[in-house]
Amino acid sequence: MKIAVLAGDGIGPEIVAEAVKVLNALGERFELSEAKVGGAAYDAHGHPLPPETLSLARESDAILFGAVGDWKYDALERRLRPEQAILGLRRELGLFANFRPAILYPQLADASTLKPEVVSGLDILIVRELNGDVYFGQPRGLREVEDGPFKGAREGFDTMRYSEPEVRRIGRVAFEAARQRQRRVTSVDKSNVLETSQLWREVMIEVSKDYPDVELSHMYVDNAAMQLVRAPKSFDVVVTGNLFGDILSDQASMLTGSIGMLPSASLNDRKQGLYEPSHGSAPDIAGKGLANPLATILSAAMMLRYSFGRNDLAGRIEAAVERVLADGLRTADIAEAGKASVGTREMGDAVVAALRG
């Protein structure tokens, strides 16, 4: 089990350290290798995804990733920004299938901003396509408007684009996942406006013919955003493109009270995976020992399950996290107003103690 540990920026190093601690407490043999990524790699090597980091990632079975980004890199040209590291890893390793579960732990029902009856028991899986769409579509750039009333003004342009095989393969991933769950897939698009989405919808319907046991429905992205807060429990698996998935997964995460709880997995067709918390680098609290390490710890559990087929170990970590929550331990992001909270390291230590106990 060869794992590349890429902690990155902001709170990345703090939360990844806790996940590594939890992995080491399992009593298994992991081969862990660390490398710099994001702004930290830019500072050390002049590039957010240096060749040595990329080759370590390629040679590993799985990547445990923290987070990248910090305001101090905002002025850099785009290709050198920390975000390019995660985008580059997704593209170079062909990590096209992104699993973003939004699960409400019963212990945290009060942490959600929505009414408990709307969210209790919530268990949604967002399957986000990660290699295509307007994130990677060419052409893109900055130029001058050629004619019309704004002639001569600066304009920015990007290309939203999906090919049939790209839609087909993420569709299959979503339908397969639904078979392990409630057998319902909601495909989210904007086919009333976009050709990309028209193709997306047609291909999803074709894919669904191979899964007669799974129910497919379609929703426009604006309506999906509304339904996610109106009746979130009506969803099982949501499959969507890169941009819509980015937005909807942040929205879905907040239904559960805190984005600090949610893990994610990004897989390619060789079952190689990158595992990262759904949240970002939170530079405002970096280095303060306040960040919630549970999303990263749960990402390590997803890694054991998806990349190594070790459901037993994943289950042990998940049970330990539930124990700790049931014992009332809370980091600041999930603590009730006015109630005491613990820091990053104490939370990690508590999960290790629960694993052992």
Region of 19-27, 82-90, 184-192, 231-239 interacting with ligand IPM (CB under 6 A): 82-90
Q: Pick the stretch among 14-22, 39-47, 57-65, 81-89 that binds ligand IPM (CB under 6 A).
A: 81-89
Q: Write out the binding residues for Mn ion, residues 222-281 only, by CB under 5 A.
A: 246
90 is in an annotated binding site: yes
- When CB distances are held under 5 to 8 angstroms depending on the partner's kind, the choice from Mn ion, ligand IPM, none that residue 63 binds is none
* Binding segment (CB under 6 A) for ligand IPM, from list 19-27, 41-49, 51-59, 79-87: 79-87
**Secondary element (H or E) of residue 98:** strand 97-103
86 binds, among Mn ion, ligand IPM, none (CB under 5 to 8 A by kind): ligand IPM
Total length of the chain? 357
Q: Which is nearer to Mn ion, 246 or 276 (CB)?
A: 246
Residue 86 sits in the site that holds ligand IPM (CB under 6 A): yes
DSSP state of 48: S
The residue among 195, 197, 201 whose CA lies nearest residue 216 is: 201
User: Do residues 177 and 99 make contact, with C-beta atoms less than 8 angstroms apart?
Assistant: yes
Which one of Mn ion, ligand IPM, none interacts with residue 259, CB within 5 to 8 A by kind?
none
Residue 87 binding partner per list Mn ion, ligand IPM, none, with a CB distance cut-off of 5 to 8 Å that depends on partner kind: ligand IPM
| Cβ distance to Mn ion smaller for residue 68 or 347 | 68
Among 76, 87, 194, 353, binds ligand IPM (CB under 6 A): 87
Backbone angles phi, psi at 189, to 5 degrees: -150, -170
Enter the tokens of residue 186: 């909601």
8 A C-beta contact, residue 101 and residue 128: no
Helix (H, G, I), strand (E, B) or coil at 228: helix
Count of residues interacting with ligand IPM (CB under 6 A): 4
Q: Are 231 and 238 in contact (CB under 8 A)?
A: no
Using DSSP bridges, classify how beta strands 31-34 and 2-8 pair: parallel, antiparallel or unpaired. parallel
Residue 331: CA count within 13 A, CB half-sphere? 26
- Chain contacts with Mn ion (rule: CB under 5 A): 246
Annotated binding site: 90, 100, 128, 222, 246, 250, 280-292
